[in-house]
Structures are given as structure tokens and as C-alpha cells.
Amino acid sequence: MSTTTPASAPERRLPDGRPTVMSGGPSPVPEPRGVATAALLDHLAGRPGGTYAGPLPQDDPVTGEDAALALYLCYELHYRGIEGVDDGWEWDPGLLAMRAELERRFLARVRELVGEVPDVGDITAFLKSQFAGHGEARSVSAWCEQHGELVHLREQAVLRSPYQLKEADAHTWAIPRLHGIPKAALVEIQADEYGQGVAKDVHAELFALTMERLGLEPAYGAHLDLVGATTLSGVSLVSLFGLHRRWRGAAVGHLALFEMASPPIMATLSAALRRLGFDEWTRLFYDTHVVADAHHQTVAAEALAGGLVQQDPRLARDVAFGALALEALEALATDETLDAWEAGRSALRQPLPTIDAAPGQEAEPVPAEDPRDRS
């Protein structure tokens, strides 16, 4: 399984002086998970052009490993790309035709999982009601706080890495598709996600720091082979919403509920790390979100989602669908993770190497300077 880092990535240093690498660069080429992804990866190794004639996945569009990886790889071409893959594939007509069929199947399955989307009068009230129900659902963060050991916190970080190392990027595609109050609200939220223009404060970089302090490789895409279909589908969901103007309302609903649910989840994960003796730098990503997303909750629910529906009431059901789709796929991933942990199994496709302690648990004091300053 591929866990390599691009050789050209610049060196940086952690607080304890160990060299590591930036989280940027294209995604490594993953191992195929079936005949469809084997054919797709072989196709992408060539030159763009022509009709895609490879087989389509035959497993479940959301939970099937072959289907989930195939769609994820198609979308990855719009992010940082894939090592050795020609950038011309991003808008190749033949590949886009194949992706459109994957999207059709994926959306049909997501609609089955979501069920009937209700008529929504007050979208802000609807989102708040969905948020209120989160306290009764199974929770990976609560399980980590109550029962989690080092292995679980490391696995949780790996499972979140496909999204968190590109955090905010999919939602940013919605910015040029909005105007007025909702556009300004989305820009305000995204500016915080991107560290207000300070590179070391970009939330994806803070997550890379957390991974480093957990003793994990922080490079972009390094753990792609370890995460299962439901994790990949959760990322593909928001990629689909972001890439299609048709789904701008769903992108807004997805982000609104995501931001509303974030503060208690982040606070709980920070508490779990604190219980295991992790330092403030390991917890910085989570603690930053507790503060930032407490404000984002209101902006996302009222100015972003509420403002969009006020401009165009026809988008209310799309906004609701985006929020419900997020809930549905998060529930699948949560059940899969907790079922594995409660049974004493790894939640990853292959367990991580066992370690006794991670860098963030080291007893020696951390230097006073900000560990995000790399040389």
C-alpha cells in the first residue's frame, strides 16, 4: 500500500527538531480495489483523449470499495492531482462521461439513504433541529473521549485525513455561484479555514501538525489505501456538490450543518487527546475549531443557508438535502468505525503499526516558539 511522500516536498521541522515534510503535493497512486479501479488507474497512466472503455464498478456506489475509489480518483484530478497522471485528464471528455455515470449511481444511492426530503419553510430552523438531534446519535468523538486509546486516536486521524487535508476546498467552489449575503458569509467562513492568509494557520496545515504529533505521516494522500469506502464517499459527496452549480444549495446545506456540529465534536476530541497526555500542539487543530466554528455556526445557519433560501426559495429542499446527505453518510462511517472498535478490530483496511507513545505525548517540554514555524 502506498504511503510514500513526493521526494520534492520541502523539509520542515517539528518542535522536537525532527525533520518532516509539508502536506502538499499530488496524491500518491493508490492500490486498485477491483477491476474498475484497476482499469481506471491503467487508463490514467496514459495520455488523455478518446473514449473511456473500461468496466464500471459493480459494487454498491457508496459502500463498495471499487466504486468509492473510482469516483474519489475522478474528483482528485480537480484537487492536487495524482502522481504521474497528466493534468489534461481533469477535463478529458471521455473520462468526464464515465464520471457522470458514476455520479448518477452515487446520487441515486445517496437519495435512497436520505429518504424523503421534507418541504422546508424555515431553513435555519430546520438546520437547528437537525443539529439538536446530533446529541442522541452514535459518536466517534464521544467514544474516543470515554474509551479511546492511542491506537483509536491515530485511526480517527487517518480516517479524517482525506477530508481534513483538503478542508474547505470543495465548499470554496461554491463561492462564484453565490452572490450578496450568502456569498459574503461563505467567504467569511472560508477565510478562517484558510488561516486568514497565514499559511501556518490554514486548518489543513493544523491537521497535518496533529498527525505529526500523533506519529503519523502528514503528507497529502499518504493514507489513502488505509481508509474504506464510506470515508471516501463522504469526501466525494461534498466534491460532487462543490463541482456542480446544480448542487450549490446542497453544498451550502452540507457546510452549514458541518459547521454547526463542529464545536462539540472538536471539543470532545481535544478532551480525548488531553486525557491521553497529548500536548497543546497536538490539540491545536481541535481547539482552533472550537473557537472559530462557534461563530461559524450562526453565520452558516443564518447568513449562508438562510440568506441563500431567502434569495431563491426554490433551493430550500436542496439545502436540506445537502444537510441530510451529510448526516446519512456520516452515520454510515460512524457505525462502521464504532462497530470495529467495539469488536476489538481496526477501523482501517489495514492496521497501523503499533507504537507505545507518540511525539505529542513526550514528557520533555516543548520549546516556547510556535511549533507551526518550520524551517
Report DSSP letters for 147-201, one per residue. H--HHHHHHHHHHHHHHHTTTTHHHHTTGGG--HHHHHHHHHHHHHHTGGG-GGG
pTM beyond cutoff 0.95: no
Q: Which three cell numbers stand for residue 154?
A: 491515530
pLDDT score of 285: 94
Query: d(Cα 27, Cα 84) in Å, to the nearest integer?
Result: 10
- Determine the number of helices (DSSP H) and then strands (DSSP E) in the chain: 14, 2
φ, ψ (nearest 5 deg) of residue 121: -90, -55
pLDDT score of 292: 79
**Signed CA dihedral, 262, 265, 267, 270: sign only:** negative
Residue 66 and residue 106 in contact, taking contact as beta carbons nearer than 8 Å: no
Query: d(Cα 139, Cα 82) in Å, to the nearest integer?
Result: 32
Structural domains of the chain in order of their starting residue, each with its CATH number: 31-112 (no CATH), 120-361 (1.20.910.10)
pLDDT tens per residue, the chain (375 residues)?
Answer: 333 333 333 345 555 444 444 557 899 999 999 999 999 999 999 999 989 999 999 999 999 999 999 999 999 999 999 999 999 999 999 999 999 999 999 999 999 999 999 999 899 999 999 988 766 679 999 999 999 999 999 999 999 999 999 999 999 999 999 999 999 999 999 999 999 998 888 999 999 999 999 999 999 999 999 999 999 999 999 999 999 999 999 999 999 999 999 999 999 999 999 999 999 999 999 999 998 778 889 999 999 999 999 999 999 999 999 999 999 999 999 999 999 999 999 999 999 999 999 999 975 444 445 555 543
Cβ atoms within 10 Å, residue 42: 11
Q: Please name which of 195, 200, 204 lies closest in space to residue 163, comparing C-alpha atoms.
A: 204
Cell 454510515 -> residue? 332
pLDDT score of 136: 65
The vertex-257 CA angle with 341 and 150, nearest 5°, equals: 25
Cβ atoms within 10 Å, residue 238: 27
Q: Please name which of 299, 267, 229 lies closest in space to residue 69, comparing C-alpha atoms.
A: 229
Secondary structure of residue 19 in the 3-state scheme: strand
Cell 495520455 -> residue? 47
Query: d(Cα 342, Cα 335) in Å, to the nearest integer?
Result: 10
Query: d(Cα 276, Cα 271) in Å, to the nearest integer?
Result: 9
Q: Which three cell numbers stand for residue 354?
A: 503499533
Query: d(Cα 313, Cα 304) in Å, to the nearest integer?
Result: 13
**Signed CA dihedral, 146, 150, 155, 161: sign only:** positive
Query: In sequence order, what are the residues at sequence separation of 6 or more whose Cβ sits closer than 8 angstroms to the Cβ of residue 38?
Result: 32
